[in-house]
Amino acid sequence: MQVDYQTLSRTIDSLTDGETDEIALMATVACEVHHSDPRFDWTGFYRVTEPELLKIGPYQGGHGCLQIPFSRGVCGAAARSGQVQLVADVDAFPGHIACASSTRSELVLPVWNAAGDLIAVFDIDSDQPDAFTETDAEKLAAILAAVFQR
């Protein structure tokens, strides 16, 4: 089974309607996305808490890294570049940070607020190699924009 993005988008929109607290929004998005598809082994946010630093935010799954500098890993690359990182094999990604040994592939999307500020990255790990597609990236980017750029 793969995620039904139309249903997921409607569900998240309904659950987050009228909410402005970023942490509450992140918790809801992480939960709903995580439980939408068995490929998603770890799903969560790393928040920009100070210049060039991400700290773990709401997530679903096993433990994650507590902090990630913009200079390291897939999450750091997404934060540093402002570009989606679609990684089919994390072992082939230079500087990959192994927060969990089970991670085989990863999708990380930058999260922007309505003012255009980077507030977080949304990280999805899979225990399957090459688990993510461009469609996943596009649909999830649209969901994140709808929630955080209101």
- For residues 54 and 47, is the Cβ–Cβ distance under 8 A? yes
- Residue 102 has a pLDDT of 81
Summarised one tens digit per residue, pLDDT across range 140-149 is: 999 999 999 9
Q: Six-digit token pair at 147?
A: 């929630």
Evaluate if residue 13 carries a pLDDT over 90. Answer: yes
> What integer pLDDT is reported at residue 94 of this predicted model?
81
Output the pLDDT for position 101: 76
Q: Are 48 and 79 in contact (CB under 8 A)?
A: yes
pLDDT of residue 15: 98
CATH topology of domain 5-148: Beta-Lactamase (3.30.450)
pTM above threshold 0.85: yes
| Confidence at residue 99, expressed as pLDDT on a 0 to 100 scale | 77
**pLDDT (tens digit, 9 = 90+) per residue, 25-54?**
999 999 999 999 999 999 999 999 999 999
Confidence band of 2 (pLDDT split at 50, 70, 90):
confident
pLDDT in tens, 79-138: 999 999 999 998 888 877 777 778 899 999 999 999 999 999 999 999 999 999 999 999
Whether 12 and 28 have beta carbons less than 8 Å apart is answered as yes
pLDDT at 1 over 80: no
Higher-confidence residue: 150 or 28? 28
DSSP string over the chain: ----HHHHHHHHHHHHTT---HHHHHHHHHHHHHTT-TT-SEEEEEEEEETTEEEEEEEESS---SEEETTSHHHHHHHHH-S-EEES-GGGSTT---SSTT--EEEEEEEE-TTS-EEEEEEEEESSTT---HHHHHHHHHHHHHHH--
Domain locations in the chain? 5-148
* Residue 72: pLDDT over 90: yes
